[in-house]
A and B are shown apart, each in its own frame.
Chain A
Amino acid sequence: MIRLKETSAGAKLRLPPLTGCTLRMLPQMRITSIAPYSGQADALRARLGGFPAPGEVLKVQGIDLVWAGGDLAFAFGDDLPDGLGAHCALSDQSDGWCGFVLQGAGAEALLARRLPFDLRNMASPGSARSVLDHLPVLVLRRASDRFEIWVWRSMVQSFVQQIRT
């Protein structure tokens, strides 16, 4: 019997040197999408201890809860409370996304040039969905000089190509 081995989407990726900031790839982690059913938002919020409004990033019960579009959140990490399923749809998104960290004094300026929305208004921490040269992205601001950019797994090569030029 075989044992299947993991392959990282970034296995053969060469990350470009950037001016004023550094780019690195995050290890794959567990990501669960949490989508409350109609009328269940309050119950879910009570159960979770909070639910991110558009643009919000929350830390509740040790879970990294990130707004990810519409009334949708991504939970980064393993420890979701049990019994959420009555209130929301849960879907494993771990393998669908690759995360990159852009860090340094020049990170905001670099991203601001590339993203078609006003980064000056983005909270820290904060979350936004947008496109980077036609690539769908989830942008998380973790600190004033640290951003995470999450892209679809199939598009990591294009992302690296775009962030370089």
Chain B
Amino acid sequence: MKRRDTGGSALNRARKLGFSFDGRAFEGVEGDTLASSLLANGVRLVGRSFKYHRPRGVMTAGSEEPNALLEVLRDGAWHPNIRATMQELHQGLDARAQNCWPSVRRDVMAVNDWLAPFLGAGFYYKTFMWPRAFWEGLYEPVIRRAAGLGRLPQSHQYDPHEKAFAFCELLVIGSGPAGLMAALVAAKAGADVILCEEDRQMGGRFLSDAGQIDGMPDGAWAAGVLAELAELPNVRLMPRTSVFGAYDGGVYGAIERVALHQAAPGRTPRECYWRITAKRAIMATGALERPIAHPDNDRPGVMMLGAVASYWQRFAVDPGRVVVFGNNDHALATAKALAADGMDIRAYIDPREITADAPFKTYQGEVIGTRGRHGLHAVTLRHKGREMRLEADTLALSGGWNPSLHLACHMNGRPVWDETIASFVPRERMVPGMQAVGAAAGIFSTHGALESGARAAMQALDALGLSATPPDLPQAEDTPYAITPLWQVQAQGRAWLDFANDVTTKDVAQAVREGFASVEHMKRYTTQGMAPDQGKSSNIGALAVLADATGGTIPGTGTTTFRPPFVPVSIAALGAGGYGPGFAPQRFTTSHAQTRKMGAPMIEAGLWYRPSYFPQATDRDWRCACNREALYVRHAVGICDVSTLGKIDVQGPDAARFLDFVYTNTMSSLKPGRVRYGLMLREDGHVMDDGTCARLSDQHFLITTTTAAAGEVIRHLDFVQQAYCADWQLRLISVTETWAQFAIAGPLADALLGHLLGDVPDLPFMGCVPVMVGGVGARLFRISFSGERGYELAVPARYGADLYRHLVALAEGFGGGAYGMEALNVLRIEKGFITHAEIDGRVTAFDLGLQGMVSAKKDCIGRAASQRPGLTGPARLQLVGLRPVDPQSEITAGAHLYPCDKPAKAAYGQGHVKSVCYSPTLESWLGLALLENGRARHGETLRLDDGLRGLRTPVEICNPVFFDPNGGRMRD
């Protein structure tokens, strides 16, 4: 193989590009793919096969390539399984062979090939069954090391990728004859068209065949159409873009190789993952040439005929002495055209009778073997009962063409068998709104492709409500396609079906012998079609061999399921931008900057970030800070940002009536200026959320939700209103973001407020009142989540940062300060106040001891179901408090509770721990737990058992309100 002196429509020979393969320096030119440049440099051996480590060379010129999977150095890491046929060459490209050691020429694991008789399909399943104990320690690690194609980079990869949306009226997939014609007709009629092409250049097979259209070379005709399309504002041309999946509702997934061909892409995304929504689509994806299963058909130098033609025309690769093995008219025509163009074709072999004249020898027969250790140098054929050997550098196979119908099958449609072309073809409407045209529909002549493309475009325009007159079709070749199927050559030796996964015809026959005779079983038993190429070159051949072995027909055997993606899609593209801060939106409170300045580690609460605790230099550990902050609140005054709680404005003449319906308790009896604790149930009777409800004025309420449930609650309230009371006069809207709200808690809270407001309003417990703070209108609530006398002060968010600074400074002046989530948790556990640690979606109001809050005087969401048998009673897990018998003995959330004399088995489990803390006030560990019939068991001792952390300790069951059970501290 070498570069021809002239030709190469894809090449810009003026620009030389240096690259390396396996450490050796080579030169290619601009326009080359890695595959074409390797071939032009005479490199035929590029890798080793998966199982037998057989030498492998480039076989195709497209994304279906099963063999030439290389590692490419990109952004500092070796990326595996890069198809050399799809990787465009750039200056400095560094590639190496994979699946071989120490080198691709001397690969130690090639010993597997000698062991092949023992390594057939199912080898692993049968061999490594016993001794059983060897599996984990020996077999599995060894197999794991030997298995796989390539090796992922072992470091995080941060090279930029992008995700994007696009919308169009008509998506045309593929830019060959049919796709170009369809795009042209639709675009001229004014439709919004996106034309996607997998290759760098548009034109499909026009780029590599030598036909004529309207008396001009078809490549020139295609260039003219493309120039016309590029001028139209309603057309978007997307080269280097593979449409890989068809999904519900006209959504298509596509992957664009944006910068993989650039030597120094900088911040340009390497790839872009497109989600294209199209009203209509035309699938002009062409067809894939299929190999023929003959002995030793996997040697470097055995290639697809279409690929040989493509490398010749586009990349000026001279394949040397060529033998062509075909079974169809297209193969013979191609061989003639290539010979006429100067290719050294030595022979054409076809099992059919060949009558036509040709400028090379023709043999009726079959290839029955090949020679050449690291690359082909001879072909053995059987002709008229004799064997003969032909010297050759390249064996070009053409076993016919399979329409690329994968996308059409992505919504579970099954294709039909077309006997005349010996291939499966798509049926109509397998994907709603998408139509197959040209070779993808089994129409192989150029005229047929142009005609079907134009017709599909007219139909799409009609569906889009656009009118157009049918175009005059240009003159083009319209020869019929004739083929006699040849699935396997009957001869001695292994004949490959799946080159990537090393599956031979014998493996398929063996699968059948062992009972794996259905196509889905055969696939999994032999692993045929499960390599990165997903069997693009082998699926149809394998199921034909399977049909032969079972005595069935091909359509009766059927295909396996085609699933997205059609081509490999990098996880980096699918997850573009989704690492670090891009993983999920981050929500920051107005106090965030100040909190960070104070050194607080942040903890996620939903999407919000909240301070865990505020460390000081003398702290031994986080618990020192937590204890200090909890004691601020118990003895002085603490400040905490509580803005993350959901806040919902409910207004209107029917607002009170609505709240009575969504809360278990009655809100309509609340007086303006007062606040009430409220409980919401789901319709199935379980607790959804809790919070406060403040009546700001007669028709204006402000309700709060927990931080985590804010989204769920507003969806729920919107549902209740829109589903059941759409004619009630009320509206609700979230004001969470509008207000910054701070808890001021502790015995000195009033003193602090006095400094801040000048004059503390005389507010009863659970009262609220508008106040002025620092010249700003604010809301003051006397509520407490700590059990201390306390307030929450809300100001418009723009003042939040400044108010927080003032509050913390004032609190510090009183011997208190800021407290974080850890201290907040201690304070609420001491008081037995619940959070979503307890409201875990399975608890009822009864379980929490809040059954008295479910009003019997009115209906509410969840009331009917809450009375269902099984949701109340002694069998329920009920909220209790826990104290370890030794107060200093640590207890853990997630631990289970057992009778002291029973083992830690599920049958004896009586409950589990939801939250724990160490209480600096009570100088003991405390826990909240759910326990069978718990309320009746205060005083009992049980064993807390945390098998995961190896912790066992006796605990006493008690009232969940550990501190100030009468509530005097917060109320009086």
Contacts and interface: CB of A to CB of B under 8 A. Distances in A.
Could you say which of A96, A155, A157 has the most chain B C-beta atoms within 10 Å of its C-beta?
Answer: A96
A157 B737 CA distance: 14
Given A7-B798, A133-B585, A165-B162, A38 B727 contact: yes
Nearest to B580: A161
Interface residues of B, number: 56
B731 A8 contact: no
Interface string B321-359: 000000000000000000000000000000000000000
Contacts of A135: 585
A61 interface: no
B496 to A, nearest CB: 43
B585 A91 contact: no
Interface string A23-58: 000001000010111111000000000000000000
B802 A7 contact: yes
B799 A6 contact: yes
A90 B735 CA distance: 12
A35 B806 CA distance: 36
A158 B738 contact: no
A92 interface: yes
A113 B277 CA distance: 12
Contacts of B732: 89
B733 A72 contact: yes
Interface string B155-191: 0000010101111000000000000000000000000
A48 B922 CA distance: 61
Interface string B581-607: 110111111100100000000000000
B803 interface: yes
B731 A5 contact: no
Contacts of B165: 112-116
A112 B652 contact: no
Q: Is the interface of B mostly helix, strand, loop or mixed?
A: mixed
Interface string A115-158: 11011100000000000011100000000000000001111011
Contacts of B726: 38
A6 B757 CA distance: 18
Among A92, A95, A154, A157, max chain B CB count under 10 A is at A154
Contact of B584 (A2, A6, A92, A134): A134
Contacts of A92: 735, 738, 796
A37 B737 contact: no
Contacts of B552: none
Contact of A95 (B162, B587, B797): B797
Choose among B165, B590, B727 the residue with the greatest number of A CB atoms under 10 Å from its CB: B165
Contact of A37 (B160, B730, B795, B801): B730
A136 B756 CA distance: 36
B774 A2 contact: yes
Contact of A157 (B586, B773, B795, B806): B586
Interface in A1-16: 1-9, 12
B758 A1 contact: yes
A153 B588 CA distance: 8
Nearest to A95: B797
A4 B803 contact: yes
Nearest to B588: A154
B737 A118 contact: no
A117 B796 CA distance: 33
A54 to B, nearest CB: 15
Interface string A74-93: 00000000000000111111
Interface in B751-802: 756, 758, 773-776, 795-802
B651 interface: yes
A157 B275 CA distance: 26
B564 interface: no
Given A12-B593, A165-B582, A113 B738 contact: no
B92 interface: no
A3 B490 CA distance: 95
A67 interface: no
B433 to A, nearest CB: 15
A94 interface: yes
B806 A37 contact: no
Given A118-B167, A165-B160, A1 B774 contact: yes
Contact of A154 (B167, B587, B653, B801): B587
Nearest to A7: B801
A4 B733 contact: no
Nearest to A71: B731
Nearest to B740: A95
Contacts of B275: 116
B435 interface: no
Contacts of B577: 133, 162, 165
A8 B593 CA distance: 12
Nearest to A87: B729
A6 B192 CA distance: 48
Contacts of A6: 798-799, 802
B72 to A, nearest CB: 24
Contacts of A161: 581-582
B49 to A, nearest CB: 40
B728 A38 contact: yes
Contacts of B586: 155, 157-158
B538 interface: no
Given A7-B802, A94-B796, A155 B738 contact: no
Given A37-B653, A154-B608, A89 B798 contact: no
Interface string B711-739: 00000000000000011111111111111
Given A4-B803, A89-B652, A113-B165, A97 B584 contact: no
A26 to B, nearest CB: 14
A91 B776 CA distance: 17
A88 B649 CA distance: 13
B774 A35 contact: no
Contacts of B167: 112, 118-120
A39 B729 CA distance: 8
Q: Counting chain A CB atoms within 10 Å of each CB, which of B776, B801, B803 scores highest?
A: B801
A4 B805 CA distance: 10
Contacts of A88: 731
Nearest to A2: B774
A162 B735 contact: no
Given A5-B799, A38-B729, A91-B733, A155 B587 contact: yes
Contact of A158 (B581, B593, B728): B581
A63 B83 CA distance: 59
A55 to B, nearest CB: 16
Given A35-B733, A89-B733, A92-B738, A2 B582 contact: no
Contacts of B653: 37
A5 B581 CA distance: 29
A5 B737 contact: no
A45 to B, nearest CB: 16
A95 B739 contact: yes
A147 B416 CA distance: 50
Contacts of A9: 797-798
Given A37-B731, A118-B277, A95 B584 contact: no
B572 to A, nearest CB: 13
B735 A4 contact: no
A8 to B, nearest CB: 7
18 contacts: A4-B775, A4-B776, A6-B799, A38-B729, A89-B649, A89-B651, A95-B738, A95-B797, A96-B737, A112-B166, A120-B192, A133-B585, A134-B584, A135-B585, A152-B737, A155-B586, A157-B581, A158-B585
Given A37-B729, A161-B582, 4 more contacts: A89-B649, A96-B797, A154-B587, A162-B582
Interface of B: 160, 162, 164-167, 192, 275, 277, 576-577, 581-582, 584-590, 593, 608, 649, 651-653, 726-739, 756, 758, 773-776, 795-803, 806
Interface of A: 1-9, 12, 28, 33, 35-40, 72, 88-97, 112-116, 118-120, 133-135, 152-155, 157-158, 161-162, 165
Q: Which 8 A-B pairs have the closest CB atoms?
A: A4-B774, A96-B737, A35-B731, A89-B651, A95-B797, A113-B164, A89-B731, A154-B587
